[in-house]
Structure 1
Amino acid sequence: MRRVSRASTQESRRREAAQARHVITTLSSNFYHCPRVQSLVLLSAMSEHLPYEIISEILAPLLKVSDDLFANNEAVSVFANYRRQSTSPYLVVCKKWLHAATPLLYNVVVLRSKAQANALAATLEAHTGLGHHVRKLRVEGGYGGAMLTVLRHSPNVTDLFISLEIYGATTTGICKGLPLINPKRLILHEGKAFRTTKSVDEMIQAVCNAITDSWDRLTSLVFPYAREADCDGRPVRFLKAVEQARRLRSLAVLRDRALDWTYPLIKNCPLETVRVLEYQYWGQPPPEPPRDPELVRLMENYNKLHPRRATGFSFEAFLALNARPRVAVDSTPVDPDLQPMKNARQDVQDKIWSCIFEFALQLPERHWTESHGYFRVSDAWHHERDLLRVCKMFFRLSKRFFFKHLSLQSSKADVDKLMRMLATPSFVSQTRVETITVYPHQAQKFTWPIAETLFNTVGSSLRICDLWVSPRRSHENILPLLTKLPNLSRLRWRGAVRFEAVDKARAVGLPKLEVLSITDNAHQSLVDAFAVARLPLLRSLYLEVPGIEYGSLLSMRGSLLTTLHLPLEVIDQLWLRQSQDRLSALCPSLRYLTVMWPSYQLRHPNEIPTIPFPKNAFLAPEHRADVPRAQRHGRTTATAASMSIRPQNTFRFLWKVTLLPFRLPPKGKDKGWGQYLLKFDCSEMPALTELNISPLQWPTTEHEIKQSLYVRAADRLLDKRVHIAGHQNIRWKRRL
């Protein structure tokens, strides 16, 4: 009877374990592959049947902060990353998730502002048990008296990161709280500049006193100083305190040459390992190994305990690779008569090899970009031409896929190659050219007659065309361009070719053209020709040539446009005309608008160029004629405040505006741009969600954030649900 009951118990346990594994598998797959909200709702329902231990294992990878990230000693904090997603949604899924995630969340604490320190202090004081979960604490400032509360309620801290880049904030709290903890590892950080204020000096003295008097468990130190004379002798003060305590077992220095003066000061400590965080040779060969044999042994000990991972190229790894014995290569001769699919029919072989070549020579979408109207073939793709040289069969089957995308310079040699190919009947009949790109060359040989020959020969199959055409005579006939390219979807035109005027009665079109880019030295006659041409599918227009009249083109084609790139001066000129010619009336369906500033050559490196501001109504509120003068200049009266000002024309669908100045003034000289963004008015763009300014770099420290006008402008627009995005499309995010 006991055997039966014992067997049934084991069987029930196996069933429960199998059910738990099934739930975990389903849970993980749904979490990583479903949309975020649906996943959280699903997991909330499923987690009712899971124990806390399993939920904790699931949440650990999501809430964990790696030690490399926590201990990162770069000048700019790695946590000043506005792309990082908040982990707070995981805590509000349900109470079970909250209880399981709380120890994981408080395991590593990173404080980057005084408000964060105050919030953490209030939380730890209200819930005294939370502080016991804190194991790693990273403090990137002084943060006032709140740090005393944080340290008092965090007795189990084992790793402490202290930054001496302190601006203004008092360090009294953290100085008094340091003796209340007893870390095993101390990581010092200096930031972008050595600060020499009274608060910093108090912090240095408090750390030195804690090392000698209170921190009897401290055995590991990360030291950020490269030279002994760095900033008021503070490196020597730290090392003397460490040497006096004589407990240090592990030392990590930021630069390899710092060991020359660091090790002699602490050689009496019971060191076991020494580590160099960064090797920088600056184009010179690596330095000779340290002469002290004991130091060599300590560095070897660390390398044995922590083998270096292969994360990229390093000089040491390269030397070690060359020092390894060569692996014996199998010298068995290869059968020269070996032929895959030898017994298959020829048509079957050709079909299989054609599928392989089509896959190997295809042009991925990531090799093209529409950000500025450029349609460039990636240079890496040209290396695939070696595939054609393997054998005659490879050339016969792969050439039609390789020549599907042509890329050449407008030099005589490349143009002659193209003409010979176009004159070969077999090439024209067997090859379907879909993409052609002609880059500029000093000797412009790609003229309009050659372009006509290209259109007449392979124009019916062309889908993407990027041409730089040099003029031959005063005027050319544009009809071949409009009649020989029925399948063209993208066209980028560069070159100063002048075209004859086209009457509306004779106007033809490009029925499948979706993207048109007119740039560089394009002539006014080209714009006039496209203004009367029939372009039913045109949705994206890139007009990058200043000084050209685009009003007729926008009047005829603007109603269907969703993407538009225009120079700043063109937008300003449109505002100076009648109200019916305003851009919002010409392009009512616009969703993406990019404004390009003129380029500027700096005469000397320290020159601060004058970068003009927009004068157009919807980009500059002080120039709006339909708003009372008092309201435009920030002076509101009772009458003006009671009036409901509604613009005559608005961009109802405009979702994103991109401003492309070639650069922004340096820090401290950019007040004008900050004031401009503070006054930015989006009342004529009710659907706007993003204002993108490519050169804008967001501040990374609390001190810089408080002083930044860009941050104030971003917070102001966030109240209107409009995001400001800067370099690499990084949006500003509010934080404590």
Structure 2
Amino acid sequence: MSLPDEIISEILSPALKVPEYMFSNLSSQSPFAKYTVSSSAALLVCKAWLRVATPLLYHVVIIRSKAQARALCDALRQNKVLGRFIKKLRMEGGYGGPVQDILRNAPNITDLFISLQIHSSDSTSGLAAGLPLINPTRVIIFDEDKNLLRNKAVLQVLDSLEGCVKKWTNVHTLLFPYHTKVSPRESFVVAMCACSNLKILSFPPPDPLIVPLLIKIAQYPGLEAIEIRPISKQKKRSLPLSTDPRLGSLLRWAKDTPIKAPVRKYILTACPPTDPSFQPLATTPEDTAERIWSRILFFAMLALEPRPKTALQKQQQRLANSKRARFLLVSKTFHRLGLPYLYRYLSLQSHTSLRRLVTSLDAVPSLGEYIHELDFRNIFKIYDDPENLESAFRCMPRLERLVVDSRLSLDWESFCALAETAGGTLTELTGFVVNQEDPSALHSPAVLEHFNVLRSLSLKSAKRFAPVFFDATAAIPTASFPALEFLSVSSREVLPLLTQMDLPSLHRVALYMNIASPGTPSDEARFLRQHRDKIWSLRVDTVMIGAESVLDLCPNISILFCRVAPQDDYNLGARTGFQHAFLRKLVVTKYSGRTKTDDVNEWGDFFAALDVSHLPALCELRVPACEWPTTEYGIVKSLWVKAAENLLVRGIKLTNKTGVEWHPRLRASTSRR
């Protein structure tokens, strides 16, 4: 079935149309500096989409490189109809001679964006020669107050713009980026305001230094308004004060056009009941009514809200907790039914809140049965009396998730209470340090057998606490942690014990510790060698553990997180004839250099020496330090772009910390002029 062109146009418009707030954006970083597949790919779907999408694609044209300018020039030469579709043109540089042909073949341009941040190595001959060939109605100038360039390329554009004043009879609106005194550009601004039909000037919120310039341009008789563009998300300041009556009559705030958020169309208001004696569900059987109220409270108290991650989310959660407590004050029924939801997910933000929880559990131990998740991440000190926390853990038989700060320590008795009470329900235990008050005390590892459903375990270490030490003569519970999938360890002392366990479900491992010096056997190597066939994700500080590579120790891993250092040979532990068949993703970090230049040089050395011939399955190399450039000039100079394109030849994507990969840009041929 074929769809009418009008419907296809409505379908494609959201993907192809450029919003006005993006086209006229005057921020220092272009909103079009993206690393996604071009929206023009929609034209390749079928002939119908090509026919409908072409006018949408050419309606707003953004040029950010010489190659794009040449490609557009060639397209307009071959099909002059395309140029008639161009209504808005954003030029973010000079881009040489092809720009003149673009402007000659685009007679219907109404909105023109020109950047004056042009490097001296760029050519603006085409732009300067082409500007007199069009007659737009709105002109937007981009510049930076603190970096007003005065090279030959910029001066050529300024001269051309000033020469167009008499020819641009349609210009109705001018947008300038200047908010303070700009002596090198003052004559240019005054000259541009001489356009015969100019009605509106637009400036960002000005400071007093620019008021004399505003007074000067306010004297043009045809001018109707000088608009001040408000900065989004900031309160409007007062308009600049001036004794000039003409300027005072022209100044006004421009209409702010931010991205519109969805607006609720229907607002439900609570109406008073017609019968004051009416009680909801009064005639419903008591057990049915309680099930209904319980379900309502489940959603009203946000029992399914996501866990807070940022400081703002935690603050919002604290406010939400106080609002949830209000439901319990409605009636005894609401108090009884809502209490489990109030205690289900607890995020304690201070030592005082922990004390209150323990006091409540001492008074009403049954409250502990409602607790499913407990977060101590913001508490750095536990009770002076450890018995209080031990008694609290013995009241939580349904605890599923426990997260604490690595600076927090528990005594051995509290840890045992946790294992014996919640070991059968706990699925995540993160950030724990067990305080060994007596370094000579030995403990039986049998307590670990209680954690039979634990899937994630993170054991931290702190210098001020001696790590827990298990009795080497005691029987090792090899069947402990049967469901453990993720293990994070920063205390070497527990590795011998974990090495002797079966850990049948273990798949992901993170070792946060200083690896033993090269050439010496280590607990880390023994642990990895024991569980080598099960591990498919590994995080370590170096690829070499002792004299062995982690790729040798773990032949089945598909994801490796590691750190490299300048003294490494950057071969990732490769040896003659070695092949790792399963590694698909490699995440590499390094210690920061003394300066940014040192960092760049060290990463350059890394990519120059990188050998991945022994990793045939590798398809992604992630470097969190990677920063993709946002301009054509930056792309030419970028170390990351060169590395990404070299890796793409081998079928490997280079990604930054958020997983964004590099998409190669059009390249301008050096043989063409």
TM range (shorter): 0.7 to 0.9
Query: Which ranges of structure 2 fall in alignment gaps of 5 or more residues?
Result: 262-268, 385-409, 517-522, 667-673
Aligned to 2:421: 457
Aligned to 1:177: 130
Residue 453 of structure 1 aligns with an amino acid whose one-letter code is: A
- Offset from partner CA, 1:644-675 (integer Å, 9 cap, x none): xxx4241x222222223465776544122123
More helix by share: 1
Residue 249 of structure 1 aligns with an amino acid whose one-letter code is: K
- Offset from partner CA, 1:479-518 (integer Å, 9 cap, x none): 3551222222222222443221456754341122222222
Does the alignment pair 1:518 with 2:469? no
Aligned to 1:493: 459
After TM superposition, give the deviation of residue 402 of structure 1 in Å: 3.8
Distance verdict in 2 for CA 1:101–1:279, change over 3 Å? closer
Does the alignment pair 1:689 with 2:619? yes
**SS of residue paired to 1:256:** coil
Aligned to 2:150: 196
- Offset from partner CA, 1:619-649 (integer Å, 9 cap, x none): x1397442xxxxxxxxxxxxxxxxxxxx424
After TM superposition, give the deviation of residue 188 of structure 1 in Å: 0.8
1:423 and 1:510 mapped to 2: Cα distance?
34
Contact 1:255 1:280 in 2 (8 A): no
Distance verdict in 2 for CA 1:118–1:538, change over 3 Å? same
1:422 and 1:590 mapped to 2: Cα distance?
48
Aligned to 1:706: 636
Aligned to 2:321: 385
Residue 124 of structure 2 aligns with an amino acid whose one-letter code is: T
Residue 355 of structure 1 aligns with an amino acid whose one-letter code is: R
Residue 55 of structure 1 aligns with an amino acid whose one-letter code is: I
Contact 1:584 1:649 in 2 (8 A): no
Distance verdict in 2 for CA 1:308–1:197, change over 3 Å? closer
Match for residue 436 of structure 2 among 463, 466, 471: 471
Distance verdict in 2 for CA 1:384–1:482, change over 3 Å? farther
After TM superposition, give the deviation of residue 53 of structure 1 in Å: 3.8
Residue 604 of structure 2 aligns with an amino acid whose one-letter code is: G
Contact 1:437 1:467 in 2 (8 A): no
**SS of residue paired to 2:194:** helix
Does the alignment pair 1:484 with 2:450? yes
- Offset from partner CA, 1:41-75 (integer Å, 9 cap, x none): xxxxx4xx334344333322221111111111111
Which residues of 2 match residues 532-543 of structure 1 at below 5 A?
Answer: 532-543=500-511
Residue 216 of structure 2 aligns with an amino acid whose one-letter code is: L
**SS of residue paired to 2:154:** helix
1:336 and 1:694 mapped to 2: Cα distance?
63
Contact 1:242 1:248 in 2 (8 A): no
Does the alignment pair 1:728 with 2:664? no
Aligned to 1:77: 30
Distance verdict in 2 for CA 1:416–1:378, change over 3 Å? closer
Contact 2:180 2:206 in 1 (8 A): no
Contact 1:504 1:532 in 2 (8 A): no
Distance verdict in 2 for CA 1:222–1:431, change over 3 Å? same
CA RMSD of aligned residues (A): 3.5
Contact 2:91 2:114 in 1 (8 A): yes
Distance verdict in 2 for CA 1:124–1:708, change over 3 Å? same
1:210 and 1:132 mapped to 2: Cα distance?
21
Aligned to 2:527: 553
2:337 and 2:557 mapped to 1: Cα distance?
45
**SS of residue paired to 2:487:** strand
- Offset from partner CA, 1:440-480 (integer Å, 9 cap, x none): 51567532212222222233222222243333322452635
After TM superposition, give the deviation of residue 136 of structure 1 in Å: 0.9
Give the TM-score, by structure 1 length: 0.75
Distance verdict in 2 for CA 1:412–1:65, change over 3 Å? closer
Residue 509 of structure 1 aligns with an amino acid whose one-letter code is: S
1:334 and 1:196 mapped to 2: Cα distance?
76
Which residues of 2 match residues 411-430 of structure 1 at below 5 A?
Answer: 411=351, 414=354, 417-418=357-358, 421=361, 425-427=365-367, 430=369
**SS of residue paired to 2:140:** strand
1:704 and 1:307 mapped to 2: Cα distance?
32
Aligned to 1:119: 71
1:622 and 1:538 mapped to 2: Cα distance?
24
Residue 102 of structure 2 aligns with an amino acid whose one-letter code is: V
Which residues of 2 match residues 154-169 of structure 1 at below 5 A?
Answer: 154-167=106-119, 168-169=121-122
Distance verdict in 2 for CA 1:434–1:704, change over 3 Å? closer
Which residues of 2 match residues 159-558 of structure 1 at below 5 A?
Answer: 159-167=111-119, 168-190=121-143, 193-211=147-165, 213-230=166-183, 233-234=184-185, 236-257=186-207, 260-267=211-218, 268-279=220-231, 286=238, 292=244, 294-300=246-252, 306=255, 339-360=279-300, 367=307, 380-386=316-322, 387-389=324-326, 390-391=328-329, 392-408=332-348, 411=351, 414=354, 417-418=357-358, 421=361, 425-427=365-367, 430-431=369-370, 433=372, 435=374, 437=376, 439-442=378-381, 446-469=410-433, 470-474=435-439, 475-477=441-443, 479=445, 481-495=447-461, 496=465, 497-502=467-472, 506-519=477-490, 523-547=491-515, 549-558=523-532
**SS of residue paired to 1:89:** helix
2:42 and 2:34 mapped to 1: Cα distance?
20
2:360 and 2:227 mapped to 1: Cα distance?
63
Contact 2:346 2:371 in 1 (8 A): no
After TM superposition, give the deviation of residue 735 of structure 1 in Å: 0.8
Give the TM-score, by structure 2 length: 0.81
Contact 1:184 1:217 in 2 (8 A): yes
**SS of residue paired to 1:130:** helix
Aligned to 1:582: 549
Distance verdict in 2 for CA 1:331–1:366, change over 3 Å? closer
Contact 1:434 1:461 in 2 (8 A): no
1:77 and 1:92 mapped to 2: Cα distance?
27
2:290 and 2:590 mapped to 1: Cα distance?
53
- Of 157-166 and 382-391, the range deviating more from structure 2: 382-391
After TM superposition, give the deviation of residue 702 of structure 1 in Å: 1.0
Aligned to 2:602: 672
- Residue identity (%): 29
- Of 481-490 and 170-179, the range deviating more from structure 2: 481-490
Distance verdict in 2 for CA 1:285–1:152, change over 3 Å? closer
Query: Which ranges of structure 1 fall in alignment gaps of 5 or more residues?
Result: 1-45, 313-328, 598-611, 627-646
Residue 433 of structure 1 aligns with an amino acid whose one-letter code is: H
Contact 2:499 2:526 in 1 (8 A): yes
After TM superposition, give the deviation of residue 361 of structure 1 in Å: 5.4
Aligned to 1:658: 587
Contact 1:385 1:402 in 2 (8 A): yes
**SS of residue paired to 2:531:** helix
**SS of residue paired to 2:540:** strand
1:247 and 1:714 mapped to 2: Cα distance?
50
2:295 and 2:143 mapped to 1: Cα distance?
58
**SS of residue paired to 1:491:** strand
After TM superposition, give the deviation of residue 162 of structure 1 in Å: 0.9
